[in-house]
Amino acid sequence: MKLTTRTRYAVRSMVDLVNQPAGKPSPLSDIAQRQGVKLRYLEQIFIRLRRAKLIESKKGPGGGYFINQNPKSIKLSEIMKAVGESSAPVFCVTRNSQKNCPRMIYCTIKPYWGKLGKTIDQFFDSVTLHDVSIKYDSIDPG
């Protein structure tokens, strides 16, 4: 599985928001600059994150974006879903697949792709925004 740029930028930007002073909204232009992401692209990502109610915005002077939930309660799977990412390893095991594979009826490996997809889902459901916001050197890579 390879995560899209949109998902990687969404997670990085959410981590950026977590690491800002509490109660102080961050202007999108500042986030884009800190993360090395084009502002126009980040705007599209933040529309989706806000629509999913993972972030909120404050308009006017001193405005910007902030996380409206405890980072310990936001799962990576929620961020992925908000920006349209699928964790399915192949298209035929996605819930809403519109593609048809001529081998689907007699495919012997499809159940294994499904099992892999469930394992991936469990991983992204078990990791929170808080988890990825703490310093890497304090994480057990095992």
CATH number at residue 60: 1.10.10.10
Of 65, 3, 74, 2, residue with least CA distance to 34: 65
Mean pLDDT confidence for 16-26: 88
Task: Please write the tens of the pLDDT for every residue from 74-118.
Answer: 999 999 999 988 888 887 777 665 567 777 778 888 888 889 989
- Residue 34's CB is within 10 A of a number of other CB atoms, namely 14
Q: pLDDT at residue 130 above 90?
A: yes
The reported pTM is: 0.85
Mean pLDDT for the chain overall: 87
109 vs 131, residue with greater confidence: 131
Q: pLDDT at residue 25 above 90?
A: yes
Number of domains in the chain: 1
Mean pLDDT confidence for 65-72: 92
Q: What is the pLDDT of residue 23?
A: 75
Q: What is the domain extent for residue 94? A: 5-138
Q: What is the pLDDT of residue 135?
A: 64
The upper half-sphere exposure of residue 70, i.e. CA atoms within 13 Å in the direction of its Cβ, equals 2
